[in-house]
Chain A
């Protein structure tokens, strides 16, 4: 039996603000346990939260980049539940008035995956199970998060992966999170149900919690869809429950979870006043957003004429795209500038992270100077690549490696002048050549090579000499 996948993804993203959401503790990753803490983020009696305005700003950035409506009035709610990593026994979150609503992400196919809402909230601490004890590290407690909830518009494992990948790319691009799934700064929960094609209703869904890589999202969706299909095929019913994806076995299994039907008793947090965001502020944030990767991709292909694969590789990383565009502004030609980034610079980088950081030792101007030599064919591509490598290693400019006299490109005009000189200096040889003594031309070659230190294009010189001699 064939089924249609109906899938939505909830994504938690840690925001890269300098300080936590309700106190001034650092958000730095790592650090000895319980050293990035204060009375506020450990829920000490009497401590009060103060909302970090940067968090609101970052969430609005995310909302705008995902085509959302920004609610100008919003407030924080308390989500009450008991767990040792949650020091106040409530999480400050947003329930019925999220900051952003009704956006979308466009997939390559042109299909849009709706974004239901984006809200801000605080992260909880971390439990560490060791030597038969459970320890609690509250460094993560109070790290700002946004939760991005998609509509159940995703209908395949590939789409699920693409959605998450695009989301990650956009969030990195606008600089609000590093979205490292392994470190937990981006975490995905996948909701999935099956239905018969054309059936307007929805099947019973399950939720797969905390998937920590893009490829696992794809695999988990496939595994869960298969699991549910098997149940339905054998006449069973899917149980609504929380699942865990096991990477090692590529299986989805139910989590032991007694909080499934928990009542969170949301209510507005009385410690944080309702807040409003003025339209001007939203416009200011909108203007500060960079061109997004997919817009860049389209422009690189349609306007700059780059092949899609090259355009995709460059537009994928904000810093690479910026470097590329600055080099173009410095006069570098599109094709060489793009190819040498993808071919030569990327070859020195092993990881996605390095490309993301794009921490290289030369400036776009230095890069453009080299590319221009290649564009003007003063050096061939092989020389250009070798020189670029030396530049990347040393941080030095192209002039350090290629002297003006090294340039193969002695201009046609210069060469013609040299040829005239050579004829004038060797009148006898010139006459011999005119009289059919082929070998006599060597005397003039010798003269030119001596003058240019052997760099002249001798075949070109021969053509010119013969023309001048009138042969």
Chain B
């Protein structure tokens, strides 16, 4: 079993290994595996070793925070002062922000060691990470398969032990789905639980940053470190989670009410369905109460998601004009020509598709029929979720309708790709938290993910349920052989 954050922290404090040695072990592993996996797109080894040196100093002085000296990775859409942040888009080629995202500021303060920025779908738009301008990352479980997306690089890095943990962002499933495809844990927090300041926006009312880890406990530790209200993000919420969530994972699940909505199981691969049902039985055997419930509006979630996310994206991405930062077309005849050429050359097809879709649904004459209607249905979905959480503490569902698919197979059919988000998008629409935990393998040996969904700010409950499952289900996904050797 791979060491978790707590065990590594103990090792660091016992001086069995220094932070610099630990960082070097990860750097070696990245140099060995990244050429194949393409999990990282920007390597920051110099600053990593510098940070590790400082972490060693802090550890020597005692009283270092838990994450001090732990090597980790950030998705390439999280701003890092002085380090490349490109959203894996040509249009942000060479962009280095002069400010830190709030989450990175918090981790840096704890002494985190950033190894690099991870691969992703361009501007987080995609479900396979294949829309990255740096080429797709490979699934460490089988390199002919996709990692999922959009936080594919973050999932692959954690899976292949090229980082102890990573941060991703989740607008419609972008943490949970790749976590599921790669067989790791991924937590999408409640909207507002984690500051979005410095997260390059895709769908602002849906985006949330969260951790990808090897265990539920690590996810809780990282969530503890990054959560909290931020006066630079008005949508962040001052919620009192009590003390550390990581300390209360071992609570009994007896009496916990688990909702199972049949709408989540429509069109799901039977192998996945049976694994989830096994998991539900495990919960039931251990005293959980299973409630069969209905969420009829769920079938509308996908179109609602694509309308709202694309509408917001079309506005959020207007700023990439080549004037202030990033890519600028080399030859142009006027300012308008420059902006048009820069955007035409700088954005990939999927991004352009979503900008056009979003522009269309906001246009006068179409606004009421699309955007406004989507907002109304969103409210209905919220009401249905609220009603469900009166009766249940958590919902259990598949994370994705299928396991990872082969590289290059879905690129030609956008709608088919959009369908792979069907289980995850309702969670973002409702702003509730959800975690994906590995719950088995399909006949091809590819991981299956189970999604546990909670009520707003109910992270403690979903983490407890996920932790219980993880501790009691045995080894449902085989350990990845390789990566950093410690």
Binding site for B on A (CB under 8 A): 39, 42-51, 78, 80, 82, 84, 87-90, 134, 136, 263, 265-267, 270-273
Contacts and interface: CB of A to CB of B under 8 A. Distances in A.
Give the one of A263, A265, A266 with max B CB within 10 A: A265
A46 B101 contact: yes
Interface in B187-207: 196-201, 203-205
B244 interface: no
A89 B323 CA distance: 11
A83 to B, nearest CB: 9
A267 B335 contact: no
Contacts of A266: 362
B320 to A, nearest CB: 8
Contact of A265 (B97, B197, B315, B339): B315
B315 A45 contact: no
B274 interface: no
Contacts of B196: 48
A42 B371 CA distance: 28
Given A42-B324, A48-B197, A89-B318, A271 B339 contact: no
Contact of A273 (B87, B234, B311): B234
Nearest to B343: A82
15 contacts: A43-B319, A45-B79, A46-B78, A46-B79, A46-B99, A48-B233, A48-B234, A84-B323, A88-B319, A89-B315, A267-B315, A270-B203, A271-B204, A271-B234, A271-B235
B362 A80 contact: yes
A266 B87 CA distance: 26
B95 interface: yes
Contacts of A39: 97-99
A45 B85 contact: yes
B192 to A, nearest CB: 9
A89 B321 contact: yes
Contacts of B335: 84, 134
B122 interface: no
B363 interface: yes
Contacts of B439: none
A134 B334 CA distance: 11
Contacts of B97: 39, 44-46
B92 interface: yes
B198 A82 contact: no
Contacts of A263: 363-364
Contact of B323 (A80, A136, A272): A136
A258 to B, nearest CB: 9
Contact of B205 (A45, A49, A270): A270
Nearest to B317: A89
A141 B147 CA distance: 41
Contacts of B200: 45-46
A51 B205 CA distance: 17
Nearest to B323: A84
Interface of B: 77-79, 85, 87, 92, 95, 97-99, 101, 196-201, 203-205, 231-235, 311-312, 314-315, 318-319, 321, 323-325, 335, 339, 359, 362-364, 367, 371
Contact of B312 (A46, A84, A87, A270): A270
A88 B200 CA distance: 12
B234 A265 contact: no
Contacts of B98: 39, 44
B95 A45 contact: yes
Contact of B318 (A50, A82, A134): A82
Nearest to B365: A263
Contacts of B203: 270
A389 B205 CA distance: 65
B324 A82 contact: no
B104 to A, nearest CB: 10
Given A270-B205, A271-B204, A80 B234 contact: no
Contacts of A48: 196-197, 232-235
Given A45-B79, A50-B234, A136-B323, 6 more contacts: A39-B99, A45-B319, A46-B77, A50-B231, A134-B335, A271-B234
A265 B85 contact: no
A273 B233 CA distance: 10
Contacts of A89: 315, 318-319, 321
A41 to B, nearest CB: 12
A48 B234 CA distance: 8
Contacts of B77: 46
A19 to B, nearest CB: 13
A80 B315 contact: yes
A80 B364 CA distance: 12
Given A46-B97, A272-B234, A273-B234, A267 B318 contact: no
B324 A265 contact: no
A371 to B, nearest CB: 52
B311 A267 contact: yes
B339 A82 contact: yes
B430 to A, nearest CB: 15
B199 to A, nearest CB: 6
B79 A265 contact: no
A125 to B, nearest CB: 10
Contacts of B79: 45-46
Contacts of B371: 267
B234 A49 contact: yes
A47 B363 CA distance: 26
Nearest to B363: A263
A270 B204 contact: yes
A267 B335 CA distance: 27
B125 to A, nearest CB: 15
A44 to B, nearest CB: 6
A82 B321 contact: yes
Contact of A46 (B201, B314, B315): B201
Contacts of B198: 46-47
B232 A87 contact: no
Contacts of B235: 48, 270-271, 273
Indicate the member of B99, B197, B312, B318 with the most A CB atoms within 10 Å: B318
Given A82-B321, A263-B363, A272-B234, A47 B315 contact: no
Contacts of B199: 46
A251 B90 CA distance: 48
A45 B359 CA distance: 20
A84 B342 CA distance: 14
Nearest to A38: B99
Contacts of B92: 45
A78 to B, nearest CB: 5
Contacts of B234: 48-51, 271-273
B204 A265 contact: no
A136 B371 CA distance: 34
A87 B321 CA distance: 9
A80 B318 contact: yes
A80 B367 CA distance: 14
A79 to B, nearest CB: 10
A51 B315 CA distance: 19
A265 B233 contact: no
A127 to B, nearest CB: 10
Contacts of A270: 203-205, 235, 312
B343 to A, nearest CB: 10
Contacts of B324: 42-44, 87
Q: Which of B92, B324, B359, B367 is the most central at the interface, judged by chain A CB atoms within 10 Å of its CB? A: B324
In the A-B complex, list the 9 residue pairs whose CB atoms are closest, starting with the nearest.
A89-B318, A270-B205, A265-B362, A270-B204, A46-B198, A45-B200, A46-B79, A46-B200, A43-B319
B325 A44 contact: yes
A271 B325 CA distance: 22
Contact of A90 (B85, B95, B231, B315): B315
A37 B84 CA distance: 22
Contacts of A80: 314-315, 318, 362
B230 to A, nearest CB: 9
